[in-house]
Amino acid sequence: MQEYDSIIVGCGFAGAVAARELAEKRGRRVLVLDARNHVGGNCYDCPDEYGIRIHQYGPHIFHTNSKRVFDYLSRFTNWFSFGHEVVGNVHGKELPIPFNLNTLAMVFGERAPKMEEKLIAQYGEGARVPILELMNQEDADLKEIAEYVYENIFLKYTMKQWGKTPKEIDPGVSGRVPVLISHDNRYFQDTYQGMPIPGYTELFEKMLDFPQIDVRLNCSAKDVLEVNPQAQDKILFEGKPFEGDVIFTGALDEFFDVRFGRLPYRSLRFEFEHLKKPFYQSHGVVNYTVSEDFTRITEFKYLTDQMEEPETTIMREYPIPYEAKEGQIPYYAINNEDNNKCYQQYVSYVKDIPNFHLLGRLAEYKYYNIDAIVEHALDFAQNI
């Protein structure tokens, strides 16, 4: 008899939530594999050598409107309330992002009240308007706002992040940061906004701390799993047929030796710097929307409730193309028609293996916020 009846590849939120649910609610014996030497996927955080907790793979801020997700994660962590605010450095001036009615007043001064009235009349208070939609407006004032926001908030940042203009990428991407018809300076407007007090890594450790879950780190799926839809035994685990469920949360192209070509991703290079002073910048994240080669600077102490620390650690984020080089990480799927078509070839390839499942940002080749993938993984584990 095999020791496990479910194998999960990847230990980010998709894999960890699925593991806990399958073990706890469904009585499964679960093995979680991860190629890295830690749990938590890209949400992994740890203290740096100066004691500031850093997010090794970029800032991850939790927010959700889902009570179900918030309650679920609250089983594994306590939170401190954190209404994340971002400013854009626009020619040296700091403007609230998303562009909102406060930003409008700062940019347009005495013309702002009339413009504000028009925005509210058009969209209603509290509305979230994608910049590409605002650009379609005929009214001269609204057009002027749209052009300002496009030029000063979106164009250069998006060129850095994606190597393309906002008009050339999936509209859903720029739509994540709308023009906000409100005076709320927070980056997100969700009901629940907070950060895990002991950090994400401990949240994951608690989630995975369950008798029927084993975690094997430093273990690349390719070393122990063989998946071949054409073979009689479609899944082999350590050389033996495996009939349980495999929940795969990694990159499909790499797992299947790029047989249908590479799935394009954007990657990031992070530059950490420790400074012997209490603060570097005014907010946890400052976006550089018209200048610099990096997109943003994160100052972690804001995100980790370490405001009293006498020193500080910051991180600059440089987007780069993902070239599958040693140490590079595929962070963002580049969703467009061609790439989605390529992805579908991989999906078709595995679709006749009923016990091979795809879950998460990489395996589903799409962007997920933390709360969205947690909710999706909860549903998935209920229905599998």
Where along the sequence are the contacts to ligand UDP (CB under 6 A)? Answer: 88, 97, 153-154, 157-158, 161, 173-174, 176-177, 287, 289
Which SS3 state, helix, strand or coil, does residue 1 take?
coil
Residue among 155 and 224 whose Cβ is closer to ligand UDP: 155
Residue nearest to ligand UDP as judged by C-beta position: 157
Task: State in angstroms the smallest separation of the CB of 120 from ligand UDP.
Answer: 23
Residue among 154 and 300 whose Cβ is closer to ligand UDP: 154
Tokens representing 341 are 């078509």
Residue among 157 and 255 whose Cβ is closer to ligand UDP: 157
Contact predicate 221/248, CB 8 Å: yes
Task: State in angstroms the smallest separation of the CB of 368 from ligand UDP.
Answer: 10
Task: State in angstroms the smallest separation of the CB of 58 from ligand UDP.
Answer: 7
Q: Is 329 exposed, middle or buried (0-12, 13-18, 19+ CB in 10 A)?
A: middle
Which SS3 state, helix, strand or coil, does residue 368 take?
coil
Q: How many CB atoms lie within 10 A of CB 205?
A: 17
Amino acid at site 58: G
Task: State in angstroms the smallest separation of the CB of 37 from ligand UDP.
Answer: 25
Contact predicate 334/266, CB 8 Å: yes
Task: State in angstroms the smallest separation of the CB of 231 from ligand UDP.
Answer: 38
Residue among 153 and 181 whose Cβ is closer to ligand UDP: 153
Residue among 184 and 309 whose Cβ is closer to ligand UDP: 184
Where are the alpha helices (H) located in the chain, listed in sequence order? 13-26, 67-74, 101-108, 112-123, 131-134, 140-149, 156-162, 171-175, 200-208, 221-224, 252-255, 300-303, 337-350, 370-383
Residue among 66 and 74 whose Cβ is closer to ligand UDP: 66
- Strand partners for 332: 266
Task: State in angstroms the smallest separation of the CB of 323 from ligand UDP.
Answer: 19
Kind plus residue range of the DSSP H or E element containing 241:
strand 240-241
Task: State in angstroms the smallest separation of the CB of 360 from ligand UDP.
Answer: 15
16: Cβ contacts below 8 Å, ≥ 6 apart: 32, 39, 40, 41, 204, 207, 208
Residue among 163 and 229 whose Cβ is closer to ligand UDP: 163
